[in-house]
Amino acid sequence: MAVIFYDESFPFDGQRPSLEIIQKLSKQATIVKAEELEHALTDQIESFIHLHGSFFPKNAWGAIQAFLQKGKGFVSIGAAPLRQPCNLVNGSWIPEREQTAYHMELNIHEVLKVDQKPIETLAANQDIPIFHGMEELFTIQDTSNFILHPTKTSSIEAEMGSCGPMDARIFPLLKGISSSGREVAAPAVLIENYGGMFTGGRWVFINQLLTESFWSEKGCQFLKKLTDVTTLGVTEFWLKTNYATYYDHEVPTITLQTQSLLKEKSEWSVKLQLKKDGTILETRSLEVTVTDELDLRTITLHTKEFKPGFYELTCRFTSEAGEERILHQGFWYMDRELLESGEVLTCGRDYFLKNNKPFPIVGMTYMTSDVARNFLFLPNPSVWNQDFQSMAGAGINYVRTGIWTAWRQMMFVDGHMSEGVLRAIDAFILTAKQHEIELTFNFFSFTPEAWDGKNPYLDPRSVAAQKRFITAIVSRHRTTKNVHWDLINEPSLFNPNQTFAGPRTLHDAFDVRDYQEWVRNRHGDIAHVQERWNMTPAELPSFSSVRPPLASEVNSHIMDMASGKKGLKWLDYTLYTMDKHNQWAQQLSSTIKKLAGDHLVTVGQDEALAGQRPSPLFYGKAVDYTSNHSWWMMDQLLWDGIFAKTFDKPNLIQETGTMYVEKPNNHAKRSEEELRNILERKYAYAFAGGNAGAVQWVWNTNYFMNNINESNIGALRADGTEKPETNVSYDFGQFIKETGHLFRGRELEDIAVVFPYSNDFSNRRFAFEATTKLTRVLCYELNQPFRAVSEYDLSVLAEEPPKLIIVPSPHNFSTSALKEVLAFVKSHKVTLLFTGPVSIDEYWNETNRVAEELAIATRCVNVLREEMLQIDGTATAVSFGGTKIAELVKEIGADEKGILSVKEFAFGKGTIIWSPLPMELNERSASIAALYQYALRNAGISEHLIWNEGDFPGVYGRKLEFEQGSLFIFVSEFSSDANVSVTDPKPGQTYEFLLESERSVLFAADKTGEIIGIYRGDEVKINARRTNEVGMK
């Protein structure tokens, strides 16, 4: 029995059914009105058909929820479902405002609008052909994207990357197809509940308004079919192989796994087909009785001889009730010839090379669209093959995958790895290679598995086990050409329970011992440590009394002084953790290099530069290339990439995507189109920072985690259709195919900015604010690109000397680094701009460094709220608001008073410009810009692009110059469209185009200035002209 909720007096969107249709429907089910619904959903009712979409009687909600918790069927038709409760007021049903609270209780966290614009046609899902032949009932309209959150716990609570129970899955039943054949929407979806409070429940949602096309005899019959389909409840099917990869003379064993989660018994006919390269090799038929108990049926293939390659299994289930379901599975026979074909990926200074050609990355993270991070336990090479085919078709040339959880389940006993997991990894690498996609495989995440050790980075037991774990995987692919290795995703040291927090000790014996040794090697004499850490001999009598500090022991801000904390030791402990991370990475990398010496090794780090964690300028020496994951720091995307790029190795923006943000009322804050624009911006900034490319997180949305953020992130929606942001991969993929050959011999920037790590690692951190402010002023307001160097690795300056070096407001700066940078200035024709105090060393000790180096006596005094600075004869206002007067100092002449002035010194072959005020920490960007312009003129740096029009705040643009041409990148963070006109002074070519609000424009030109490729060339038009010459490109 079924209930249809329809009430002519109740709010309704779309075209209402006629009285004639209502009469027909009443013969199929009981039609109830709003006031009756609360009491109509009795135990005898097996399915509930809801025709009012968003609107429902508020007083019936408890009954609806209780009904669905019994595993009953549900069909919802109309706009975003169950979003507007209605109350009976003076005889009329009055809707409340839109709310997410009700559908959230059905594990649908939010419902986003899907624009109909790209939809050309509608097509039924042939694997679940419920809508087959019914397409004509529906029209092309805006529809919905369900943000599913069915997983409310983690399978391994101690692991941040753990999935949880796969309590529900969503399938598209009716797909919106674009003119190019892409699946871009799902106007109708099926949710099957495999566990949790709705176990057995089968729900169909038609997320569009019904029109006259539907309200017909055929439409009534279809509603009856949907009633029957949902009444049957969930039958769980799995088609599995005992391994994902087989070797010579092995015969695959197939397992058919079935269970009814609602009904006691049903009969199904099964047809299994084995194919290779489209040729049917074997067909099997059998009858299966499905009950409420798990049934496992083993099928041994008759085929006994297998050639290397990929094999496809298709299994068609047909029930006695006429329902059809098609499952796909696959397996590989090991194909060494395929894996060994081609060349391995190699590194240039800035970009990767493949087959000795530039290989700019347009990448994607992928851990399968069916079971997400469980893919190595439940491998399905058929799904992988389809997804890799789609990704390759989008122009994606690099995929990052690996292990984010469950290491002990893969290698429970140290040294004894699961063969099933290893063969799943083999199959995954083979599938990527079949589509000529470079694969990086990640081993650990956040902190490496300790395997019974006390410290995951330092305990020899832990490191030895990690090396055995890695060896088990890498040793099978010594000669594979399309794979390389990522040691760890987003590492933090050392405490696994304090991920992303910065240096956090476990106070284990290994950390204590190693830190004591490190401090001894750095300082030599305990008296030096006492002096530098501001500790007495009684507090720190010997190196054996040194202990790793807790963050709670450190006076990390100006108001943290009540208990007399001492924080100068924090710099040393942070530097120590950087060294220990590198030591750990080198140990594991050496194991890989012994097995596969030509395979690259990296570490996949996030925005760690903002959190006192290992970042590329520190760990670059331990890996073949570095990476950065640009996530939350939306205002610092360019900074994020520039300060992750070392001089001599590529840096890859290896994870980037669009974090989910909500309004205070739990509604999504951003539309799908806004999310696309953000992702496009992140890709554009990745290339603008001189990085080797960008990799999106992630291809398919993973809704099997107890993490609503993950339930939103993905190029594909939970229902498997493509979001607008997928266009970023398609468009960048096409653009890189056209222009990728240019990415060789990039001309380095004339400006080098030193990241002041001593300050950033100290207990008074200003480096982030200083360098992000510098980036905004230099790159946006003055349109001047720069490169980054580390305070702790200034030797790279000599490799390709810049014209201008900037040390932005460091306050405490390493004595050895200051000597090194001054020696470089003395021996090179270069300008050094140093802002703020020079005399404070890395341990916040005021020294005589200025007097010794520049022969002037100075003193450090507090800044005032309002200061003035003479820059090249002009007084400029400088303001220090908020808590700055309590935090900052300026360094002035011993007898200097009043308005300060910028000081300039001839210093050997070079020039020093010194601002006594920490300019980047003041709130007036005009004063910073004036200082930088003065330094730029002194250094002889001219505009690399001449802006004729469109230089608005929030409009970014730059040129990257290569041996054979240039790449132009423009990004809008501006609220209006902008007409942009810029001139490249080298070839004398002017380019004019419209830069839409929030969008990015990229194009490439050869040495003469002729355009050879345009990003989004079907949407963006560039007018290129010389003097008295106009031409369209």
Using one digit for the tens of pLDDT, what is the confidence trace for 604-617? Answer: 999 999 999 999 99
Residue type, 719: D
Could you give the 3-state DSSP secondary structure of residue 645?
A: coil
Distance (Å, whole) CA 1024 – CA 808: 38
Q: State the first-to-last Cα distance of the chain, in angstroms, to the nearest integer.
A: 65
If one counts every other C-beta atom within 10 angstroms of the C-beta of residue 529, the result is: 23
The pair phi, psi for residue 679, each rounded to 5°, is -65, -40
If one counts every other C-beta atom within 10 angstroms of the C-beta of residue 165, the result is: 16
Question: E strands along 638-765, which residues?
Answer: 651-656, 693-696, 751-755
C-alpha triplet 348, 685, 615: angle, nearest 5°: 60
Spatial contact of 352 and 325, defined as CB atoms under 8 Å apart:
no
Would you mind telling me the total number of residues written for the chain in this entry? 1033
Tokens, residue 855: 């022969």
**Per-residue confidence at 967, pLDDT binned at 50, 70, 90?**
very high
Where is pLDDT greater, at 558 or 353?
353
Distance (Å, whole) CA 189 – CA 201: 14
Do β-strands 295-300 and 202-206 pair in parallel, antiparallel, or remain unpaired? unpaired
Dihedral-angle region of residue 108 (phi above 0 means left; psi in -120 to 50 means alpha; beta otherwise): beta
Distance (Å, whole) CA 980 – CA 8: 55
Distance (Å, whole) CA 405 – CA 705: 12
What is the rounded average pLDDT of the residues 68-91? 97
Asked whether the bond before 698 is cis by omega within 30 degrees of 0, the reply is: yes
What is the rounded average pLDDT of the residues 188-192? 98
Distance (Å, whole) CA 114 – CA 205: 15
Spatial contact of 987 and 765, defined as CB atoms under 8 Å apart:
no
Please check the confidence at residue 1032 and state whether its pLDDT lies above 50.
Answer: no
**Per-residue confidence at 115, pLDDT binned at 50, 70, 90?**
very high
Distance (Å, whole) CA 601 – CA 619: 12
pLDDT tens digits along 731-762: 999 999 999 999 999 999 999 999 999 999 99
Nearest one of 668, 666, 617 to 639, comparing CA atoms: 617
Asked whether the bond before 768 is cis by omega within 30 degrees of 0, the reply is: no
Please check the confidence at residue 775 and state whether its pLDDT lies above 90.
Answer: yes
Instruction: Find the radius of gyration of the CA atoms of the chain.
Output: 32
Nearest one of 497, 499, 520, 511 to 549, comparing CA atoms: 511
Q: Which residues contact 830 (CB under 8 A, 6 or more apart)?
A: 801, 802, 803, 804, 805, 824, 909, 910, 911, 939
What is the rounded average pLDDT of the residues 521-548? 98
Nearest one of 238, 229, 231 to 290, comparing CA atoms: 238
* DSSP per position, 840-899: B-TTS-B-SHHHHHH---EEEEE--SEEEEEETTEEEEEE--TTHHHH-EEEEETT--SS
pLDDT of 1030 reads 40
Distance (Å, whole) CA 292 – CA 339: 44
Distance (Å, whole) CA 170 – CA 147: 10
Q: Among residues of the chain, what percentage have pLDDT more than 70?
A: 99
**Per-residue confidence at 361, pLDDT binned at 50, 70, 90?**
very high
The residues pairing with 87 across neighbouring beta strands, listed in sequence order, are: 94
Nearest one of 968, 808, 936 to 871, comparing CA atoms: 936
Do β-strands 751-755 and 804-807 pair in parallel, antiparallel, or remain unpaired? parallel
Could you give the 3-state DSSP secondary structure of residue 497?
A: helix
8-state DSSP, 611: T
Nearest one of 655, 676, 599, 624 to 364, comparing CA atoms: 655
Please check the confidence at residue 629 and state whether its pLDDT lies above 90.
Answer: yes
**Per-residue confidence at 562, pLDDT binned at 50, 70, 90?**
confident
The pair phi, psi for residue 152, each rounded to 5°, is -110, 0
pLDDT tens digits along 407-436: 999 999 999 999 999 999 999 999 999 999
- How far lies 557's CA from each of 74, 503, 560, 882, 935, in Å? 56, 17, 5, 13, 32
Residue type, 898: G
pLDDT tens digits along 274-322: 999 999 999 999 999 999 999 999 999 999 899 999 999 999 999 999 9
Spatial contact of 396 and 770, defined as CB atoms under 8 Å apart:
no
pLDDT of 1027 reads 61
Distance (Å, whole) CA 552 – CA 346: 44
Distance (Å, whole) CA 11 – CA 22: 17
Please check the confidence at residue 369 and state whether its pLDDT lies above 70.
Answer: yes
C-alpha triplet 40, 46, 48: angle, nearest 5°: 60
